[in-house]
């Protein structure tokens, strides 16, 4: 790890000011995504801007039909929150299965989404639930947020402040984990959309270059929310990643299996 300047601003505006026009600066939330790649010299920021002292980024609250979670809320806090458990228990279960205890107690929702690891769990949640990522300057729909491998719609000096999750009728996540990292080899989140709608959203993480939806599953599950509505062969191996711990063909098989498990848990 190389030398760097360290700043701990007191407000989001101050953090943005430190980032603006400085390509060598990086935001630091919980550090569970950024610090490992710094140790491997895969990232070499000259300036770290910590959000640890910024007020207002740790809230969990209900706002009408939405559950609002601040960017600095840790995975462990999401998992243990009575409000999350009451309104979106599938999201609490997802957070409780991230990494190990150290990662869950340090890693944050905003940090995970900013890093946008294609095998992370939260991308499946925000996409399946149709969440909105709120930043210091705008609101970004989950469908528009993930743009590629480790790439998002965020500007270089943009700061996530919270995520607004519409409360679904039901939602569940099923993951086949890598035995060492606990990242998703394949993870599938299924959510029945809120307010009496018959719509269903299905998001897959781990299998591709970025999280993605499966429209064919969504249409089938809108007609019948049952595991038998999930058909094999819908997700083509050629559209999935290769060269990892599993072949594209096996990943496609896992998508089917995990989707069925998520639907079973969502019923």
pLDDT, tens digit (0-9, with 9 covering 90-100), for 223-264: 999 999 999 999 999 999 998 889 999 999 999 999 999 999
- pLDDT at 159 exceeding the cut of 90: yes
Q: What is the CATH T-level fold of the domain 5-50, as seen in this structure?
A: 3.30.43
Terminal CA-CA length for the chain: 48
**pLDDT band at 1; cut points 50, 70, 90:** low
148's CB contacts (< 8 A; 6+ apart) are: 209, 210
pLDDT for res 44: 83
Sequence length of the chain is 267
If phi over 0 gives left and psi between -120 and 50 gives alpha, with beta otherwise, what is residue 125?
A: alpha
- The structure's pTM equals 0.94
**pLDDT band at 42; cut points 50, 70, 90:** confident
pLDDT for res 198: 62
Task: Give yes or no for a contact between 259 and 235, defined as CB atoms under 8 angstroms apart.
Answer: no
Three-point CA angle 210, 44, 71, nearest 5°: 50
pLDDT for res 197: 61
Domain ranges of the chain: 5-50, 60-166, 170-266
- Mean pLDDT throughout 158-162? 98
**pLDDT band at 195; cut points 50, 70, 90:** low
Q: Which CATH architecture has domain 60-166?
A: 2-Layer Sandwich (3.30)
Residue 65's alpha-carbon distances to 88, 138, 267, in angstroms, are 11, 20, 20
CATH number, domain 170-266, options 3.30.390.50, 1.20.210.10, 3.40.50.300, 3.30.1050.10 = 3.30.390.50
Q: Do 60-166 and 170-266 share a fold?
A: no
pLDDT tens track for 51-77: 999 999 999 999 999 999 999 999 999
Average model confidence (pLDDT) across the chain: 94
**Which token pair is 107?**
């890693």
pLDDT tens track for 175-193: 999 998 889 999 999 999 8
């Amino acid at each position: 790890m190389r030398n760097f300047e360290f700043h701990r601003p007191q407000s989001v505006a101050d953090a943005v000011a430190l980032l603006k026009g400085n390509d060598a600066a990086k935001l630091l939330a919980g550090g569970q995504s950024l610090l490992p790649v710094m140790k491997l010299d895969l990232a070499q920021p000259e300036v770290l801007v910590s959000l640890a002292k910024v007020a207002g980024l740790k809230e969990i609250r209900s706002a009408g039909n939405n559950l609002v979670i601040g960017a600095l809320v840790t995975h462990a806090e999401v998992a243990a929150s009575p409000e999350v458990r009451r309104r979106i228990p599938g999201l609490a279960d997802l957070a409780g299965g991230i990494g190990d205890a150290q990662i869950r107690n340090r890693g944050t929702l905003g940090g995970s989404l900013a890093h946008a690891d294609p095998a992370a769990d939260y991308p499946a949640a925000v996409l399946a639930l149709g969440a909105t990522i709120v930043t210091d300057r705008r609101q970004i729909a989950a469908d528009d947020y993930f743009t590629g491998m480790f790439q998002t719609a965020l500007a270089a000096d943009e700061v996530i402040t919270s995520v607004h999750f519409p409360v679904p009728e039901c939602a569940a996540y099923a993951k086949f984990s890598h035995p060492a990292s606990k990242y998703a080899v394949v993870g599938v989140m299924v959510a029945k959309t809120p307010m009496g709608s018959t719509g269903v959203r299905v998001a897959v993480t781990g299998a591709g270059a970025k999280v993605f939806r499966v429209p064919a599953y969504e249409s089938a599950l809108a007609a019948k929310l049952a595991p038998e509505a999930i058909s094999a062969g819908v997700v083509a191996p050629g559209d999935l990643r290769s060269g990892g711990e599993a072949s594209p063909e096996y990943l496609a098989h896992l998508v089917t299996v995990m989707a069925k498990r998520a639907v079973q848990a969502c019923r």
